[in-house]
Amino acid sequence: MSRDFATQTHLAHTRATDWLTAAGLRPTRQRLALAALLVGDGQDRHVTAEKLFVAAQHGGEKVSLATVYNTLRAFCDAGLLTEITVDASRSYFDTRTDDHPHFFWEDTQVLTDAPSDQLEILRLPEAPDGCEIARVDVVIRLRRPA
């Protein structure tokens, strides 16, 4: 809570590097910057390409939007992120890669984790013949009452 800036930055960098190399991805300057924003503080995050791009710029990083897109795709392919689709016009990327439920705030278009220990699925429809369940997406859409 009271670590100084240098230490925090250093930790973020280390974590980002490990995260990338563990997945066999080259830790380039751009990827490190994006990775640090995603997992630098060990917190789970849900980002859109645009939001991450803005965050990077805000942090003084020089990364192109196309690279942000390509990088997010690369991270997904490497299993570092999961893509979650709640809004047909935008993709969200989650740093948590296990199967867990989400809240989607319809007014702000924000996606967050829902406490997974509060979800108990007793029975699930079984996969039809010749199929297996790749993932179960549970999105709880929240509305602020008028």
Please give the Cα distance from 41 to 37 (Å, whole number). Answer: 8
Please give the Cα distance from 15 to 10 (Å, whole number). Answer: 9
Q: Which does 77 bind (CB under 5 to 8 A by kind): DNA, its own copies, none?
A: none
- The two three-digit tokens of residue 146, written as one number: 């008028």
Nearer to DNA, 11 or 54 (CB): 54
Smallest separation (angstroms) from DNA to the CB of 74: 7
Amino acid at 44: D
Of the candidate residues 23, 70, 101, 110, the single one contacting its own copies (CB under 8 A)? 101
- The two three-digit tokens of residue 104, written as one number: 């989607």
- The two three-digit tokens of residue 60, written as one number: 């003084």
Q: Which does 142 bind (CB under 5 to 8 A by kind): its own copies, DNA, none?
A: its own copies
Q: Which stretch binds its own copies (CB under 8 A): 2-10, 23-31, 57-65, 134-142?
A: 134-142
Q: Which stretch binds DNA (CB under 7 A): 44-52, 98-106, 111-119, 136-144?
A: 44-52
Please give the Cα distance from 50 to 70 (Å, whole number). Answer: 12
- The two three-digit tokens of residue 42, written as one number: 């060990």
Q: Give contact residues for its own copies (rule: CB under 8 A).
A: 83, 85-91, 101, 103, 105-106, 114-116, 118-128, 130-145
